[in-house]
Amino acid sequence: MKTIGLIGGMSWESSAEYYRIINQETQRRLGGSSSARLVLISVDFSSIEAMQQLGDWDRAAAAMAQAGTQAEAAGADFLLLCTNTMHRVAAAVSEAVSIPLLHIADVTANAIKQAGVDEVGLLGTRYTMEQEFYRDRLEQLGLTVNIPDEPGRTRIHDIIFDELVKGVISAESREIYLSIARDLIAGGSRGLIGGCTEIELLITRDDVGVPFFPTAELHALAAVDRALSD
């Protein structure tokens, strides 16, 4: 079994889901009292959030690269950034370590293609929805990616930072997300990406009428695949 390296804390709410999913799936596959071999480097999200707001991606990249080198030094065989937004600096992390980085967008694109979907709506932080680093990677893999109009993007973003990263789950916010999702579906999206690892704390596959791709779950399951591969 390979050792999984997790760079988490962004937020700890979703990082806890990574830990749960990885260990539950490992036990399901191996049986008995099996659990995963992993290293978790958890950062202080308040400092990372401040860097995001300032657009200081160089400093954010340095923080993620440092976390990656710590995970490698602790014995990780490969890395996961347990966040969609911070894949904005994925290249800097890869350059800082000698072990592979399992990119969340690649895992997500693979699941979408396996589902036979080619046009998807993307829900996430403003950075993930509006900047090119995430959408471009999906589009280069053959997908058409749609994002909400304003003010939908602002509402999606604000609920993530004001509620979900703090563990606040409300029926009102769920309905806001589902209303925006319905607009994306009406506009031609044949599937929906939960492109922030906290989003699947609020909505699930059962809430939408098209295939839903929860990125934290997909990423965690792909980590187990790699950890248990020869």
C-alpha 88/C-alpha 141 separation (Å) is 17
Would you identify the CATH topology of the domain 4-103+218-228?
Rossmann fold (3.40.50)
Residue with tokens 């709506």: 121
Catalytic positions, please? Answer: 83, 196
The tens-digit pLDDT sequence of the chain (230 residues) is: 999 999 999 999 999 999 999 999 999 999 999 999 999 999 999 999 999 999 999 999 999 999 999 999 999 999 999 999 999 999 999 999 999 999 999 999 999 999 999 999 999 999 999 999 999 999 999 999 999 999 999 999 999 999 999 999 999 999 999 999 999 999 999 999 999 999 999 999 999 999 999 999 999 999 999 999 97
The token duo for 181 is 């999702």
Do the domains spanning 4-103+218-228 and 104-214 agree at the CATH topology level? yes
Residues 6+ apart with CB under 8 A from 157: 125, 126, 129
Architecture label for domain 104-214: 3-Layer(aba) Sandwich (3.40)
Question: Within 31-102, where are the H helices?
Answer: 45-54, 57-73, 90-96
d(CA 167, CA 191): 26
Q: What is the rounded CA–CA span in Å between residue 31 and residue 132? A: 42
- Going from N- to C-terminal start, the domains of the chain cover 4-103+218-228, 104-214
